[in-house]
Structure 1
Amino acid sequence: MVKNYFKIAWRNLLKNKTYSLLNISGLVIGMTAAMLILSWVQHERSFDLFHAKKDRLFLLANRAKWNDKINVWFYTPKPLGPASKDEFPEIANYSRYSGGQHFLFSVGEKRLKGSGAFVDSAFLQMFDFPLLAGNKEQVLRTPTEIVITQSLAKRLFGQEDALGKTVKIDSVDMATVSGVLADMPGNTRFDGIDFLLPWKYMEKIGYSDNYWGNNSVQTYIELVPGTNATSFSNKIKDITKRHAPGNDDLAVILHALPDWWLRSTFENGKIVGGRIEMVHLFTIIAGFILLIACINFMNLSTARSEKRAKEVGIRKVAGAYRKSLIGQFLSESILMAAIAGIVAITVTWLALPVFGSLVSRRLAINFSDFHFWLNAIGFILVTGLLAGSYPAFFLSSFQPVKVLKGTFKQAKATFSSRKILVVVQFSIAIILIISTLVVHRQIKYAKDRENGYEKNNLIYIFEEGDVTQNSNLIKNELLQNGIAESVTRSSSPITEGWSNSTMEWEGKPVGDKTIFDRFCVDEHLVKTAGLSLIIGRDMDLSQYPTDSTAILLNESAVKIMGFKDPIGQIIHDNGIEWHVIGVVKDFIMRSPYDPIDPMVIEGAKGWFNIMHIKFNPSLPTATALAKTEAIFKRYNPNYPFSYDFVDKAYAEKFKESEQTGTMAALFAFLTIFISCLGLFGLAAYMAENRTKEIGVRKVLGASVFSITRLLSTEFAWLVVISCIVAFPIAYWAMDRFLQVYTYRISMGWELFLMAGLTALILAVMTVSSQAIKAAIANPIRSLRDE
């Protein structure tokens, strides 16, 4: 019987090629879009969940009250790991992680830069990153070894076995390769590292310390099996207080591995969400797109019900039960869903690399995975059943007596149901259009925000190798040769905040624990970065040698400190007395969506990792870069010349938001396209059924415009109703979305008008194409006796 169902379904599909093509096309687009989104969702949900010990792995975090809020941050003191292991038997292993380390590796004449991390020896025992060569239990125990990834091994040693080979680090130290690590998968927070160096090497080169006030590394722990995480959290929370008196409100908390990627946003000390909100949002969008595709199927199937009515009547007279008719119609929808599913899987496979590039993820379909095919079959069956459910129950309900007598009337009920389905379709489409407009306007609003410094012709370079000791020589050559207008060394790029702390000053209120961004420079920052100086002057060591302990404040810092006359005030930080010489206008160092934090800009007594260079605008950028590279090669010959443009680095702050906006725009377009595809089919069928009416109207003198308006008005009103339904829902959803941003837009009526008009115009254009075709047809043909 089932075989017969599908045989009949196949014949009906071939018999009605146009409507079958429309139905299958809508399902293909909907299923492809849903598959793309769900592949991203699955990737996001899988982050670091492949570790066997995932239920026992935790990231230690700090929680404390400052700036009148309970804040949580994931950087901890370096001694926290070993101290917690010594004090608590519940901890089986620990590893500190200091990422973002860049070193030059040399093998013979070959020199390559790599990015990696310092870790403790238990790191590879805690996390399941496979070693292709070496022993997990033995690696990273001495300061003279290194673990490198398979990719770096090939770059350094070609096809030779890298295990046991020696590598020179920064032209200074030799290290032996004790392990070759499989390249990090894309679904881990540790993705992108080329090497792991032992913590003992970090201690050897003086990068480590035992200062409990320096929160600069991540600390991971593995609990002993059976340990209750909640009880243990209560035990470990006071560890920093005991080792660093004065931190009475500071607590150490546990952040569980399953929450690291998706749930890392805290408010007042508690998890409130994170990336999981975006995952939920796009899962809903995937469901909506698939629903719209299924609604198309329902609409076109029920619209053609009159043509299937006699078939149903004859089958019932011949003894067919309703359930067999339901099975027949469901078989047709499942067959169409299966064809659409096969095409959709193929299109998804072809589109996945492009989509993965769009969302900055390495996405792929594993066709050898049994679970993939199981999920794909389930997905197709669910789609087929969902799409065919309403038509199956509707068509099988026809009464054979009325059908065969020719008195079958279903227009009113069916038309009403189709109206509801069309309204649902366009309501979802309009909500997505409004969401896209809001996201893009919010991004533009943040981009247009005054950042407080001049980005053009400004680059920054990491101080590596011999750059630090030759910094003055490099600086002088750049200035004397007219390559640069100004050069400034700093503790971090101007687009990033790498350090913050509390400060002390005269008149500071008791209990004030305001955190200030700390930025260290040698001199001429105002000139190099184009900052706006409100009062005072810039740092200049040649004219004012005491500027080594000078400090600049931003406007927010002056407000917090309450200075009426800030010039000459003394600020205490890191055991140094800094004297205020100027105040600069607030500039954005961190997120452009958030308020600007109070900042202190400390002088040459600080530390430096970066060199900012403001190029001479009269030189072409390519020429300036070439001349700068020649100077760096002369003073730092062992290192490749690398640089970053500040404007590009600033643009990176919008990357994730822009990806969200692009995804929203893409799927909003697909949603409206699928809706219009269904509308096209309905309009074509409507025009076909009203051929004689149109012919009579034309004979009586009706114009093409009036006939077109008659056929289009009905659908236009459905879109207007969709707007009425969609607008309040979209406003509520987008208002919640915007609450995440402190610096945000307000939603004006023009956004909703634009979305509504877009949907209305597209709908009218879609329907009009069929209405005009019917209106200009020769009435003689339509009125000819059958």
Structure 2
Amino acid sequence: MFRLNFKIALRNLWKNKGYTLINVGGLAIGLASCMVLLLYVAYEWGYDRQSKNFADTYVVYQHQPSSTGTMSWAWTPGVLAPDLAASVPGAVTASHSSYPEAQLLTYHQNFFKKPGVYSDPQFLKMMDYKFLKGNPDRALREVNSIVLTETMAKNLFGDEDPINKVIKFNNKEELKVDGVIADIPKNSSIIFDYLMPWSFWETQLPFIKASGWGNNFCLTLLQLQKGQDYSKANELASQVLRKHQNGATGYYSLHKLSKWHLYNEYQNGKPVGGKIDQVRIFFLLAFCILLIACVNFMNLSTARSEKRAKEVGVRKAIGSTRASLMGQFMLESLLLSILGMMVAFVLIEMSLPYFNGLLHTELLIEYSDWKFWAVFGGLTLVTGCIAGSYPAFYLSSFEPLQVLKGFKMTGSTSLSVRQVLVVFQFVFAACLIICTAVIYQQLNYIKGKSIGYNKNNLIEIPLQGPMRANEQKMKLLKDQLLKSGAVTDVTFFSRSISEGGHNTFGVSWQGKSPKEEVLFNYRSTGYDFPKTMGSGMISGRDFSPEYTDSTNVIVNETAVKTMGLKNPVGSVIEFWDKPVKIIGVMKDFVMENPYSQTAPMIIYNKMEDTEVVLARLNARANVSSSIEKIKEVTEKLNPGFPVDTKFVDDSFEEKFQNEKLLGIIANWFGGFAIFISCLGLLGLALFMAEQRKKEISIRKVLGASNMNILTLLNKDFIKLVVIADLIAFPIAYVIVNKWLSAYSFRVSISVLPFAIALCLSLIIAILTVSVQSVKVAKANPVDALKYE
């Protein structure tokens, strides 16, 4: 019986090639879209899960209550790790490490500036990196040693064996290669190209060894024994700071390493989400698109009900049971689903390079992984069953006597189900159109919002090697850059202008409550900072060589409001327990998150604390030639170090990556959903044209024009689309309102996105239906009425 049904299914598919192609195309697009999105979801879900210890490894967060809420960050003191390892029962080990920072490595003529991490041997054991060369038990134990990743070792040494070879660090220190580990997967929160001992960091920066509980500068990881009670360990960790600092109001908590990437946003000391929200959206989007493809198949299959009715009647008349007929229709559906899967494979392989570039990921199909085949095979089977379920039940229900006498609708039930399916498709499509419009409105709103400085033609150059902390060389660099004509203004800054970090609670002023804790950003800068930034002074003056400014500071507008200073210029406040005088007030400018309120900031003048050159390119000169001049001047004064120029507007643009990604993904997959929905609408148009063929012919005989017929056919579909939009509007409003609530600065929800969705859906529906309606309206009425 199966063999017979299989032959009949193949003949039907081959006989109706147009329907087969449309169905296979719709299912292929649905399956491919679903699998690409699921690959991305699996990639994001797999973050920081590469080590065998990931389930028992925790990131230590510090929380500091303040008057504006509890601040949370994963920066901790260097003395915390050994204390946790000794004081928390069930702790296997604890590790402290720096965050990745780009440094220069040189071997003979090969040199690369790549991110590296200072860590301890416990870090290697905890993260369970795969050693390709060297002894993992000896790694990072000698002060002047280094562990390279496979790619870094290949870049530096080529085919040479790197073990025990000596490389230069920042053209100064010599480091011996102790080991080579496999490259770090891209879905890791800690990405680096080499590891150096913590003890080596202490020789580079003596304050590291001397720092106490008040300095937060490193990442701390804690590994517990399997099955150890997390809540008890978390409670003990929360008491550590108070135990070592009298009167401390801050505390620590443990955050699962496997959740660090997905749940990285905190509110009042509690994780509230983060990237997980985007992952959930993509997961839901994947199955919605697949469901729309299944609905499309149902509509197209049942649209051909009249052509299949006589086949069903004859087979039932000669003894076929309803179960065998359902089996045949399900088999046809599964065959189409399998064909769709094959086409989907091609689409996935073709689209993955594009999406990898877009998502900055390494998505790939693991053909040797049984889990991939289980998911893909399961999706294909489920798709075939869902898509074929309604046609199988509906087509097999026809009564032989009725269909052999002449097929006609026995009621409006099937039409109602079909209408519901089309409404569902357009509800989803309208929601995607509205969400995409709001995402782009929010993006444009933030981009159009003043950031407090002019980012155009502004570049950053990191200070490296002998140039760093050398005031004489820095002054000479500034003079040479200005003389070259490549730039018009130059200053120095303690961090990249677009980065966070460098904050403190150590600012006090007259009238401040002893219990009040306010987090201030602090930065060190050279002369001409406001001028170079293109940001004005509200009052007072900038730092100047004409004055002694070692005990003077500049604050921003938010700092003045926070401290409640009516006449800030000339006021004396305390900064790290030392009295300093405010000499100027700058406008607020965006550094970290353009979506959040600007934090209070204090700026001081200490050249040895600066790490970055900020320069304004000469607008009258060619950009490329200016960059070349800058490199030439910098390399001459600081030989042996590559010059990494970075445009500030590029750095600023990176802050909108998540929103741009959401918008692009919504565009692409929303387009796929709309395309598949159009196929479903076409199926319903075919069905209605089939049912109303004689009615339309009679109307034409009685004098109805083609326009009358088009209006008659389109009217019902316009009603369906309007109903779909009315259902979609409140759903979309709830979704976008929840999404926007995460931003301090957000666009108000206007009528425009809803109007766009309504107009687009109506235009799409009318164009889709008109393709079939025109064909029906132009048909000769004699063909439909000649048997009457």
Q: How high is the TM-score relative to the length of structure 2?
A: 0.96
Equivalent in the alignment of 1:504: 508
**Where does residue 756 of structure 2 map in the other structure?**
754
Q: Tell me whether 1:211 sits opposite 2:215 in the alignment.
A: no
| 8 Å contact kept, 1:303–1:414 | no
* The one of 631, 641, 656 aligned to 2:643: 641
Question: Which residue of the partner structure matches residue 574 of structure 2?
Answer: 572
Letter in 1 for 2:147: V
Question: 1:77–1:212: 8 Å Cα contact kept in structure 2?
Answer: yes
Q: Which residue of 2 aligns with 1:220?
A: 221
What amino acid maps onto 1:514 in structure 2? Answer: V
The AA in structure 2 aligned to 1:50 is Q
Query: Quick one: distance in 2 between partners of 1:612 and 1:4?
Result: 77
Letter in 1 for 2:433: I
Question: C-alpha displacement at 1:559, in angstroms?
Answer: 0.7
Equivalent pair of 1:70/1:268 in contact (CA under 8 Å): yes
SS in 2 for 1:51: coil
| 731-740 or 611-620, which deviates more | 611-620
Distance 2:490 2:213 in 1: 34
The counterpart of 1:595, out of the listed 594, 597, 601, is: 597
Deviations 1:227-265 (A, max 9, x none): 211111112211112222231x21111111221121222
Q: Distance in 1 between matches of 2:605 and 2:479?
A: 19
Aligned-pair distance for 1:692? 4.7
Is it true that 1:536 corresponds to 2:540 in the alignment?
yes
Shift of residue 64 of structure 1? 2.5
C-alpha deviation, 1:712, in angstroms: 1.3
The alpha carbon displacement at 1:606 in A equals 6.8
User: Are 2:507 and 1:519 equivalent residues in the alignment?
Assistant: no
- 50-59 vs 597-606, which moves further: 597-606
User: 1:589-632: per-residue Cα shift (whole Å, max 9, x none)?
Assistant: 11111111111112227711111011222222122211111111
Amino acid at match of 2:247: G
Q: CA deviation at 1:63?
A: 1.9
Within-5 A mapping of 1:694-733:
694-733=696-735
**In the superposition, relative to structure 1, how do residues 410 and 356 fare at CA in structure 2: closer, same or farther (>3 Å)?**
farther
Q: What is aligned with 1:431?
A: 431
Counterpart residue identity of residue 709, structure 2: I
Alpha-carbon offset, residue 576 of structure 1 = 3.6
* Aligned counterpart, 2:485: 482
> Cα–Cα, structure 1 residues 197 and 633, in superposed 2: closer, same or farther, change >3 Å?
same
| Residue identity opposite 2:681 in structure 1 | L
My pick for the range that moved more, 737-746 or 618-627, is: 618-627
Q: CA deviation at 1:723?
A: 0.7
CA gap 1:608/1:584 in 2 versus in 1, 3 angstroms = same
Deviations 1:208-228 (A, max 9, x none): 242211112110011133421
- Check the 8 A contact 1:551/1:581 in 2, yes or no: yes
TM-superposition CA deviations, 1:308-331 (whole Å, max 9, x none): 222222322333222222211111
Residue correspondence of structure 1 range 192-591 to structure 2 within 5 A: 193-206=192-205, 208-209=208-209, 210-247=211-248, 249-406=249-406, 408-410=408-410, 412-468=412-468, 469=470, 470-502=473-505, 503-540=507-544, 542-544=545-547, 546-591=548-593
2: CA distance between counterparts of 1:572 and 1:141?
Answer: 42
* Residue 108 of structure 1, CA deviation: 1.4
Closer, same or farther: CA 397–684 of 1 in aligned 2, 3 Å? closer
**1:579 Cα shift?**
1.3
In the TM superposition, what whole-angstrom CA distance separates every residue of 1:693-725 from its partner, at most 9, and x where no partner exists? 444444443332222212211111110010111
Gap regions ≥5 residues in structure 2: none
Partner of 1:7: 7
AA at the equivalent of 2:316: K
Judged with a 3 Å threshold, the aligned counterparts in structure 2 of structure 1 residues 691 and 226 are, in CA distance, closer, same or farther, namely closer
User: What pairs up with 1:84-123 in 2 under 5 angstroms?
Assistant: 84-123=84-123
- Superposition deviation, residue 341 in structure 1: 0.8
Shift of residue 779 of structure 1?
Answer: 4.8
Structure 2 equivalent of residue 624 of structure 1:
626
Q: Give the counterpart letter for 2:195 in structure 1.
A: L
How big is the shift at 1:27? 0.8
Instruction: Name the CA distance, whole Å, in 2 between partners of 1:598 and 1:117.
Output: 30
SS across alignment from 1:658:
helix
Q: Give the AA of the match of 1:500.
A: N
What is the CA-CA distance between 1:660 and the residue it aligns to? 1.2
1:297-350 per-position Cα deviation (integer Å, ceiling 9, x unaligned): 111112222222222223223332222222111111111001001110221122
Residue identity matched to 1:667: F
CA contact (8 A) 2:47 2:261 kept: yes
Partner SS state of residue 96, structure 1: strand
Displacement after TM superposition at 1:40 (Å): 0.3
Q: Distance in 2 between matches of 1:91 and 1:201?
A: 26
Q: More deviation in 599-608 or 358-367?
A: 599-608
1:7 Cα deviation (Å)?
2.0
Decide whether the 8 Å contact of 2:433 with 2:753 is kept in 1: no
Tell me how far apart the structure 1 counterparts of residues 457 and 408 of structure 2 sit (CA, whole Å): 77
How far apart are 1:577 and its partner, in Å? 2.8
Q: Distance in 2 between matches of 1:481 and 1:42?
A: 52
Q: State the Cα distance separating 1:406 from its structure 2 match.
A: 3.1
- AA partner of residue 478 (structure 2): K
Q: Give the aligned residue type for 1:644.
A: K
1:183-203 residue CA offsets vs partner (Å, 9 max, x unmatched): 111221123x11011111101
Counterpart of 1:521 in structure 2: which amino acid? T
Tell me what 2:185 maps to.
185
**Deviations, residues 14-40 of structure 1 (Å, cap 9, x unaligned):** 111111211111111111111111110
Please give the secondary structure, in 1, of the residue aligned with 2:255. Answer: strand
Counterpart secondary structure, 1:330: helix
Task: Tell me how far 1:638 sits from its aligned partner.
Answer: 0.3
Give the share of equivalent positions with the same residue, in percent: 40
**Distance in 1 (alpha carbons) for counterparts of 2:574 and 2:241:** 23
Paired residue total: 782
| Partner Cα separation in structure 2 for residue 645 and residue 549 of structure 1 | 32
Cα 1:614–1:408 change in 2 (3 A) is closer
Contact 2:492/2:527, CA 8 A, preserved across alignment: yes
Moved more, 728-737 or 508-517: 508-517
> Of the candidates 746, 765, 768, which is equivalent to residue 767 of structure 2?
765
**Paired position in structure 1 for 2:685:** 683
Distance (Å, rounded) in 2 between the aligned partners of 1:107 and 1:141: 22
Q: 1:45-64 to 2 correspondence within 5 Å?
A: 45-64=45-64
Q: Distance in 2 between matches of 1:46 and 1:73?
A: 23
Q: 2: CA distance between counterparts of 1:616 and 1:763?
A: 54
On the 8 A contact 1:531/1:584 being kept in 2, the answer is yes
Given that 1:548 and 1:605 are in contact with CA atoms closer than 8 Å, whether structure 2 keeps it comes out as no
Q: Hey, what's the Cα distance between the residues in 2 that align with 1:136 and 1:166?
A: 18
SS in 1 for 2:293: helix
Query: Aligned-pair distance for 1:52?
Result: 1.1
2:177 and 2:700 mapped to 1: Cα distance? Answer: 87
SS in 1 for 2:746: coil
Q: SS at 2:439's partner residue?
A: helix
Judge conservation of contact 2:186–2:361 (CA < 8 Å) in 1.
yes
Task: Name the residue aligned to 1:149.
Answer: 149
Alpha-carbon distance in structure 2 between the residues aligned to 1:86 and 1:573? 34
> What secondary structure does 1:595 align onto?
coil
Question: 2:257 & 2:359 partners in 1: Cα distance?
Answer: 23
Q: CA deviation at 1:511?
A: 1.3
Q: Could you state the TM-score of these two structures normalised by the residue count of structure 1?
A: 0.96
SS class of match (1:518):
strand
